[in-house]
Amino acid sequence: MKKNQTANIIGGGSTVRTVRVDFVHQTATQVCIGGTFNDWRPTVTPMVPLGHGHWSKALALPPGVYEYRLVVDGVWMPDPRAIDTVPNPFGGVNSVLKTEEMRELTLWAAALKKTSRMLLCL
């Protein structure tokens, strides 16, 4: 899984993070993602084949914590690249995806930019 730095603002001022999920499976013919962000309906979130067994999908999600699993050729499995997992009611584990408030990241970036300018002036 890999996170992009892209942020969008949607109606009502809600911040959305664009998160990219990457997966590699040399023999897969179809990979989808099912999770709490799509009511566990993997068919609405198919991953895009990039060739040579690489798959990717960009997800636009509001800040929060989401559970998900990959569906590889009809078989549900946790994301092997996920940092966090939680037990699920079926005896397996779900992968965990966390998106953050952009306000905190924006403040940090602004502070870093200000510090950089000060260092350049020295």
List Cβ neighbours of 64 (8 Å cut-off, separation of 6 or more).
98, 99
Q: Is the pLDDT of residue 6 over 50?
A: no
CB atoms within 10 A of CB 89: 6
How big is the CA angle at 98 (ends 49 and 9), to the nearest 5 degrees? 85
Higher model confidence: residue 6 or residue 61? Answer: 61
> pLDDT class for 110, splitting at 50, 70, 90?
low
Instruction: Provide the domain limits for residue 99.
Output: 2-121
108 SS3 class: helix
Quote the pLDDT of residue 9. 43
CATH of residue 74's domain is: 2.60.40.10
Higher model confidence: residue 77 or residue 114? Answer: 77
Residue of 59, 46, 51 whose CA lies nearest to 25: 51
> pLDDT class for 15, splitting at 50, 70, 90?
confident
Quote the pLDDT of residue 3. 46
Distance CA 69, CA 61 (A): 16
- pTM tops 0.85, yes or no: no
Q: Is the pLDDT of residue 91 over 60?
A: yes
Number of structural domains found in the chain: 1
Q: Is the pLDDT of residue 100 over 90?
A: no
Looking only at Cα atoms, what is the longest distance across the chain? 59
